[in-house]
Amino acid sequence: MKKSTKNRMINSWQLFLSFLFISFLHFSCAEKNNYERLNEDYYVAAYIWPSCHHDERFGDMLWPGGTGEWEVIKKGTPRFEGHYQPKVPLWGYEMDDDPHVVEKWIDAATDHGVNVFIFDWYWFDGGPFLESSLNNGFLQAENNEKMQFYLMWANHDVRRNYWNVHKYEDDTSLLWEGAVDPENFEIIVDRVINQYFIKPNYFRIDDKPVFSVFSIDNLIKSFGGLEETKEALDYFRAETEKAGFPGLHIQLIAFGSPSTNLIENIEFLGANSITKYNWGGPHPEDYIKWGTESIDRRNQWDSALSIPYFPNASIGWDDTPRFPQKGKEDVVHYNKSPESFAAFLQKAKEYCDERPDEPNLITLFSWNEFVEGSYLLPCMKYGFQHLEAVKRVISDEYDPYSE
C-alpha cells in the first residue's frame, strides 16, 4: 500500500473517531441540560422584583443604606401572633446584581421546574431604574443559558413614600409617573430590542420576543389616546421586524374583571396575550378564598378574550413592611402553605393542558418579592418548600388524591 493512501485512511479514521466523540459530547450535554432544566413541557415564569441592590441613579435617594429594599424588608414587624416578620432569606441578604448570587438562583430555579425569569423593568426620568439586577446579575451569570427571560415594563406611578416609608413617612406626593412621552418610548424601543431581544435566551412565542406591559392605562396615557397608542405599538413591531424577528408579542397585565371597554381596547391595540402579575386585590385573609376568587376572574377573562390568557399562581400577600398602618386584615395568612400553593399551581397546569393549541405558559408571583410576602426563593421559615411544590406539580409527581 502506498504511503499517501495509508495516510488518507488514517486521517479518515481519525476524522470518524472525532465525529463520534463530538456526537457523544453533544448527546451527553443535551442530556445534562435536560436534566438540569427538569422542565421542557411548560414555561414556568417567575417574576423578579430587582430592588435589592444599590441603584446607580436613584439608590441614594430611595434606599441610602446601600442595600436597596433589604433596608425596608429588615424592618418588617409582626402585626399579630404568628405573623412571620421580618422575613429572612435562607441565603442571607444577598445583592441581586451579583452574578454569583444569580447563578445560585438559576440553578435552584431550573432544578425545580422554573425555566423563565420575568424581570420588572422601569424607565423613570428619562432613563432606566433597577436595571442592574438584569444587566450585571443575570446577564453576567455564567449559567444564564439554562434560563430564558423577558421584560415586564412596570410602567406604574410611584408615590414618594411607597418604597421607603421610613424615610418619606406620610409624603404621598408623586415621585414618578409611569407614562412616558413618545421620544422616550422610541429610546425604550431601541434599548429593549438591541440590548435584550437579541440575546439567544430571550423568551419568544412563535419566535416573536415577548414584551409585557404592566399598566394599559399608563400606556395609553403616554400617547394621549387609543389611536396614538396603536401607532406607537405598530412602530415597536416594525422596529422589531427590522431587527430580524418575525414580529413582536405584546403581553398585557390584567387587573380585576374584564369590562367591555377594556376588552375592546385590548383587541384594538393588537395585544397577543394577557396574564396577571399576581392574583390581585382585594386581598382576603384566607389564601384559599384569594385563589378561588382569582380562578373566577381568570375564567371571566378567558371567556371574554380572543387571545390567550396565561394563568398565574401566587404564593401570598403581605406588604406590611412598606405600610406601617396595615394590620392582620391586610395580610393573606389563613390556609397559606406550600401545599395550598401546590394545589392552585396544579389548577393552573390543568388550565394549560385543556388548551393544547396555546403555549403552556404559567406566571408565578414571584421569585423574590420578600417585601410583598410572595417568593419562591428559600427563606428561614419555609426553606425550599415552595420550590419543591413547583417541582412536584410540573414533573407530574403531585397527587391530588393524597395532597
Secondary structure (DSSP) of 184-215: HHHHHHHHHIIIIITSTTB-EETTEEEEEES-
Preceding peptide of 378 cis, ω within 30°: no
pLDDT value of residue 7? 46
Contact 192, 210 (CB under 8 A): no
pLDDT digits (tens, 9 = 90+) for 116-172: 999 999 999 999 999 999 999 999 999 999 999 999 999 999 999 999 999 999 999
First to last CA, the chain: 73
Query: For 195-213, what is the mean pLDDT?
Result: 98
pLDDT value of residue 211? 99
For residue 99, give the 3-state DSSP assignment: helix
pLDDT value of residue 260? 97
pLDDT value of residue 40? 79
pLDDT digits (tens, 9 = 90+) for 300-333: 999 999 999 999 999 999 999 999 999 999 999 9
Q: Which residues are bridge partners to 253 per DSSP?
A: 275
Fold of 44-394: TIM Barrel (3.20.20)
Q: Where are the domains of the chain?
A: 1-35, 44-394
pLDDT value of residue 38? 73
Contact 151, 100 (CB under 8 A): no
pLDDT digits (tens, 9 = 90+) for 20-49: 443 433 333 333 333 345 777 999 999 999
Ramachandran bin of 126, using left for φ above 0, alpha for ψ from -120 to 50, beta for the remaining angles = left
pLDDT value of residue 305? 97
Gyration radius of the chain over CA positions: 23
pLDDT value of residue 299? 97
Q: What is the largest CA-CA distance in the chain?
A: 94
